[in-house]
Amino acid sequence: MTGTALADLMVNLAATAGLTACVMAVTFALALRLRRHSVIDTVWGLGFALIALCTFLLAEHMLPAGYGNLTGRVLVTVLTALWGVRLAVHIGLRSRGHGEDPRYEKLLAGEGNPAKRALRLVYLPQAVVLWFVSLPVQVAQYLPTASTARTAVLFTLGSLVWLTGFCFEAIGDYQLARFRSRPLAPGATRGVLDTGLWRYTRHPNYFGDACAWWGLYLFACTDWPGIITILSPLLMTYFLAAKTGKPLMEAHLGARPGYAEYVRRTSSFLPRPPSRDR
């Protein structure tokens, strides 16, 4: 990476930090108006799409003509936007007509001003994570990526890993939405979804989410500044598998009839055949 491109990247990182702050400020104001902080879950995916688009436009404006790989910049922008917009639409439709998410009610319960608690416990952490996780997408667009065999391999692998994750996430969400929409007999309780992708992992959507970001990370591996952004997909995977994704969801579902048996036979994250089939 040349000194000029590195300086341009620093400007880009500052601009996207400001953009992230603005997105969170607008989301916070909207949440107060709607009295529902779970609106941030819908904005989460859109935030990544906006950062990718902002980065692409800034790179096109600041970088010298012919620098880097335009195909790679377009591809990483489009893939990030597709992932973010799909996620936002899915969560927006799922939450339509519902009140506050119980997770946020529990998190924000307590003494003190609830708005200040929301800023400290929800919006500030998510702003930092949003910007940090998007680093591979930002850095990838400023790398002096030549059209070499190594670049082609990384772009191909990145696209395939991203596509695997996107399909897992989208199909898993679709299967879950269909399961939740099935009418129940009077007095019956919702069981456990253990068919389709949910037969092989308890969280195909979270696994797919992680895969998508590992795929995007591969686009940044054509030069050293991108390689060192590996902490970004690691952080996303940690949150999905061990912090706010899987653990909170399983705590919510733990009392559902049949769930304990489902946990015993089904992989917690990485897909594999259920234990009863081995």
Contact predicate 172/47, CB 8 Å: no
Residue carrying the six token digits 């940690």: 238
Amino acid at 8: D
User: What is d(CA 200, CA 185) in angstroms, rounded to the nearest whole number?
Assistant: 28
Q: For residue range 256-272, what is the model confidence (pLDDT) as tens digits?
A: 888 889 999 999 999 99
Percent of the chain with pLDDT over 70: 97
Domain that holds residue 252: 3-277
Q: Encode pLDDT of 119-149 as tens digits.
A: 998 999 999 999 999 999 999 999 987 778 8
Band (pLDDT 50/70/90 cuts) for residue 23 is: very high
pTM, entire model = 0.92
Q: Which of 106, 110, 123, 113 is nearest to 47 (CA)?
A: 123
CB distance 49 to 81 below 8 Å: yes
Plot region of 66 (φ>0 → left; ψ -120 to 50 → alpha; else → beta):
left
Note whether 143 and 226 are within 8 A (CB): yes
Query: How many folded domains does the chain comprise?
Result: 1
